[in-house]
């Protein structure tokens, strides 16, 4: 049931005037009376958000660590949702941070407990965060380890029974299986191959049940920025096909850690073609009774697809980066054109097969939808237009990734051209209070902005050490720093850098160290917070991780977080006049500020930061010294 506004409306005062009065009462009086600090920066931020709601504007809200950003945006967001009759959407940087925002004892719980607000908050996670019953059934036939049985026992009995699923319990979210590794989860979760629209289990799977649940929210829907971008990328096509959009209409959007939106958009607005996926898909269709012409067309497509990927491997530019540049030889483009012809021929044969019913209807429909996406991707690839493409490994498979156009245009068209209040909330959105880098990166031309500092006295509670050493000496230095067993977060610029460190770390040191990817990340973070793990290594947790007081007292920056030299960032560099000044330096500065911001989260926090600098990194020391919160010790 929809809750009423948390304040009274009167005929002589507008909603926004009444909202302003209520925010003042809560932040100046009610919460301080119950032990909360009265923070001028937090109050200023809340009023700036109220103004952005009134004008339906984009707002860059940069507020330092400890400002109380979450409460500052929750108060106007909940009120505006109830006023408009549409939920407010909070999009976090990634899936892990969704769980952090709604954890018991967090800011949403505090508002419930101290203000008596009955807040309807529901989670909308990305599709790959849910179990796929079809993929689970396939995995169950071959997997023998305990993790597959744990998942089997978690599936409600009613899923496979006849009758309505309306009252079924929610199941199948990634966070329900904390002991399952990322590698195993990728064998049973939803992936882009699965065509839910033609699946006979679609109304019984956990993803569908969760979606129906969060669409009913009256106050807040919390999702990842990846999922928001996927919603925008698929919104129009889903409408055309008569499907519900991934997210409902909302009253406003808060982008928590909003500086990361660009990367979420890049991830969502791409096409992917995988090396073995199409081969496995077609093999499942080669059943008894299929016409010889159809079998030949499938085999021809499989053979040409393999030839295409063989040539793709020959055409990549060798590098250590995860995204590999493709040279696109004449032979590769010719093989791409042949693939387009092969798919068109096979789709014609499928028309006849659909009338014979030899291939199961679900399998045939899934293959048709997949092939239409596949051929659209190949056409973009061989068109030699303004697309950006590369080869990478995704879910253990070689994957051709194609981004059809710069995301600034897409975001302008799908998000920033709407009269919708959008609030970017982060401790680091600007470089020296200049917001032009993030605005330019996202194609935003009209916006409001402000920057308020952290209320903490960093000189009293933080020490920063700079260590000049060769790259080969960094692992030994980390071992030396870790000897006193403080709760330590080590941040790496990439997965590759973290894995190289892991390989060089002695076995005994690994026993008290957790690495991102070993298990579900929020489960690792909980163990770290409880002190069961002394050292946490990550390449994603530069932002959003909130571990107060003794839970985290040291951060090690293993390498400066410059962007990789890969096709995606190379495309950004090519569009700039000075790549270092316009792309690389602001990216590194923003990310470094975020990483250092993990340490001091409350007025009771203290600790140290160690930044390891090889000779190349030492050359740019003057470029980041001025953004450090305290004078470093060298």
Q: Which residues of the chain have pLDDT under 70?
A: 1, 96, 162-168, 192-193, 195, 197-198, 394-396, 404-406, 544
Question: Which residues fall within 8 angstroms of residue 250, CB to CB, at 6 or more apart?
Answer: 86, 87, 88, 89, 221, 420
Across the beta sheet with 554-557, the strand order is 462-468, 607-613, 554-557, 488-491, 535-538, 513-515
The answer to whether residues 255 and 261 touch, using CB atoms and an 8 Å cutoff, is yes
- Single out the residue of 187, 229, 194, 227 nearest to residue 211, CA to CA: 227
- Single out the residue of 248, 197, 265 nearest to residue 441, CA to CA: 265
Q: Indicate the domain borders of the chain.
A: 16-125+409-452, 127-215, 271-405, 458-626
Cα dihedral value 242, 244, 249, 250, nearest 10? -160
Evaluate whether 16-125+409-452 and 458-626 have a shared fold.
yes
Instruction: Give pLDDT, residue 166.
Output: 56
Q: Which tokens go with 352?
A: 């006849």
pLDDT tens profile 167-190: 568 888 888 888 888 889 988 988
> What's the predicted TM-score (pTM) here?
0.73
**What letter would DSSP give residue 316?**
B
The answer to whether residues 74 and 52 touch, using CB atoms and an 8 Å cutoff, is no
- Got the DSSP string for 440-491? HHHT--S-EEEEE--SS-HHHHEEEEEEE--GGGHHHHHHHHGGG---EEEE
> Which stretches of 107-203 are DSSP H helices?
107-115, 133-140, 146-154, 182-185
Tell me the β-bridge partners of 256.
Answer: 425
Q: Which tokens go with 451?
A: 């920057």
The answer to whether residues 562 and 493 touch, using CB atoms and an 8 Å cutoff, is yes
Strand intervals (E) in 231-362: 253-256, 271-274
- Got the DSSP string for 478-534? HHHHGGG---EEEE-SSHHHHHHHHHHS-HHHHTTEEETTSS-HHHHHHHHHTTS-S
**What letter would DSSP give residue 180?**
S
Dist CA 156 CA 418 (whole Å): 41
Q: CATH number for 16-125+409-452: choose from 1.10.10, 3.30.420, 3.40.50, 3.20.20.
A: 3.40.50
Return the CATH fold of 271-405: Fumarase C; Chain B, domain 1 (1.10.275)
**What letter would DSSP give residue 390?**
E
Instruction: Give the pairing type, strands 397-403 and 271-274.
Output: antiparallel
Question: Which residues fall within 8 angstroms of residue 215, CB to CB, at 6 or more apart?
Answer: 244, 247, 248
Dist CA 266 CA 281 (whole Å): 27
**What letter would DSSP give residue 608?**
E
CATH number corresponding to 458-626: 3.40.50.300
- Single out the residue of 260, 281, 267 nearest to residue 323, CA to CA: 267
Tell me the β-bridge partners of 594.
Answer: none
């Amino acid at each position: 049931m929809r809750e009423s506004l948390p304040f009274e409306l009167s005929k002589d005062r507008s909603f926004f005037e009444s909202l302003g009065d209520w925010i003042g009462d809560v932040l100046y009086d009610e919460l301080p009376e119950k032990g909360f600090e009265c923070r001028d920066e937090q109050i200023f931020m809340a009023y700036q958000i109220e103004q952005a709601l009134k004008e339906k504007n984009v707002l860059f809200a940069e507020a330092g660590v400890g400002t109380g950003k979450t409460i500052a945006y929750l108060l106007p967001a909940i009120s505006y949702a109830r006023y408009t009759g549409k939920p407010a959407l909070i999009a976090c940087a990634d899936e892990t941070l969704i769980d952090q925002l709604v954890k018991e004892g967090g800011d949403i719980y505090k508002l419930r407990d101290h203000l008596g607000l009955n807040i309807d908050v529901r989670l909308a996670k990305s599709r790959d965060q849910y179990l796929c019953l079809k993929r689970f059934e396939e995995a169950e036939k071959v997997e023998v380890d305990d993790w597959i049985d744990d998942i089997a026992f978690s599936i409600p009995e009613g899923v496979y029974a006849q009758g309505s699923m309306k009252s079924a319990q929610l199941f199948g979210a990634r966070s329900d299986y904390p002991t399952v590794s990322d590698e195993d989860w990728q064998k049973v979760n939803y992936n882009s191959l699965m065509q839910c629209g033609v699946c006979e289990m679609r109304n019984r799977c956990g993803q569908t049940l969760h979606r129906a649940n969060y669409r009913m929210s009256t106050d807040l829907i919390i999702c990842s920025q990846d999922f928001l971008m996927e919603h925008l990328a698929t919104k129009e096509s889903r409408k055309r096909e008569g499907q519900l959009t991934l997210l409902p209409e909302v009253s406003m959007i808060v982008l928590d850690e909003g500086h990361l939106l660009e990367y979420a958009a890049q991830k969502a607005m791409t096409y992917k073609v995988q090396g073995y996926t199409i081969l496995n898909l077609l093999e499942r269709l080669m059943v008894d009774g299929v016409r010889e012409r159809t079998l030949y067309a499938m085999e021809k497509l499989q053979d040409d697809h393999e030839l295409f990927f063989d040539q793709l491997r020959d055409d990549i530019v060798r590098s250590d980066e995860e995204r590999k540049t493709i040279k696109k030889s004449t032979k590769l483009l010719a093989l791409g054109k042949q693939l387009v012809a092969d798919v068109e021929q096979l789709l014609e044969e499928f028309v006849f097969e659909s009338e014979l019913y030899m291939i199961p209807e679900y399998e045939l429909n899934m293959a048709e939808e997949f092939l239409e996406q596949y051929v659209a991707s190949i056409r973009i690839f061989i068109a030699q237009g303004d697309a950006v493409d590369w080869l990478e490994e995704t879910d253990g498979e070689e994957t051709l990734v194609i981004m059809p156009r710069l995301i600034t245009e897409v975001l302008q068209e799908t998000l920033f051209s709407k009269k919708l209040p959008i609030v970017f909330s982060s401790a680091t959105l600007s470089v020296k209070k200049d917001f032009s880098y993030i605005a330019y990166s996202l194609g935003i031309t009209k916006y409001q902005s402000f920057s308020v500092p952290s209320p903490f006295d960093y000189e009293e509670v933080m020490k920063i050490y700079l260590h000049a050493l060769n790259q080969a000496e960094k692992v030994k230095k980390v071992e030396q720093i870790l000897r006193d067993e403080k709760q330590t977060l080590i941040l790496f610029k990439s997965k590759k850098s973290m894995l190289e460190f892991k390989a060089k770390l002695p076995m005994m040191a690994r026993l008290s160290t957790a690495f991102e990817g070993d298990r579900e990340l929020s489960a690792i973070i909980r163990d770290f917070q409880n002190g069961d793990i002394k050292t946490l290594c990550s390449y994603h947790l530069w932002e959003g991780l909130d571990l107060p007081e003794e839970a985290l007292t040291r951060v090690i920056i293993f390498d400066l977080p410059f962007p990789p030299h890969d096709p995606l960032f190379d495309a950004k560099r090519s569009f700039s006049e000075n790549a270092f000044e316009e792309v690389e330096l602001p990216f590194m500065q923003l990310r470094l500020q975020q990483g250092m911001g993990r340490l001091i989260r409350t007025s009771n926090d203290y600790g140290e930061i160690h930044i390891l600098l090889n000779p190349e990194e030492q050359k740019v020391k003057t470029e980041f010294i001025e953004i450090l919160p305290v004078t470093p010790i060298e």
